[in-house]
Amino acid sequence: QVQLMEFGGGSVQPGGSLRLSCVASNYVWGYNCMAWFRQPPGKQREGVAAIYTSGTTTYYADSVKGRFTISQEQVGNTVTMYLQMNNIEPEDTAMYYCATEPRGYRGDCHTGYEYNRWGQGTQVTVSS
């Protein structure tokens, strides 16, 4: 069974950088996409970025375009997805989750799907 685990959260100052990792063990290649979501305090969860796990096609929410970079690497049946966060803003404070297995996959990876499998999250706090 696929297991997702996030790493790399922490406290960072505005303008700083952070890299999040999500390790997906026993990955099922038919899932096609992995994605990052976040839930700011007191707000609903929102999509951040997504990536096609058999290629390099990516998707970004407008709020992070030009600042965040999603990438992934594979070793056997383990996929590690990264989120490089640069020029971090206070509004980026949130619990960050990785997800895979989008429902009703239609050939493109984005965060508009409902995802079936989730990690437990890693907290990112931006403060000066």
Residue 98 and residue 120: Cα distance in Å, rounded? 8
- pLDDT bucket at 29, cuts 50 / 70 / 90: confident
- φ and ψ at 92, to 5 degrees? -80, -5
Mean pLDDT of the chain: 96
Q: What is the mean pLDDT of residues 75-81?
A: 94
3-state secondary structure 11-49: EECCCCCEEEEEEEECCCHHHCEEEEEEECCCCCCEEEE
**In this predicted model, what pLDDT tens digit does every residue of 91-125 receive, in sequence order?**
999 999 999 999 999 989 999 999 999 999 999 99
Tell me: pLDDT of 19 over 90: yes
CB 103 within 8 A of CB 115: yes
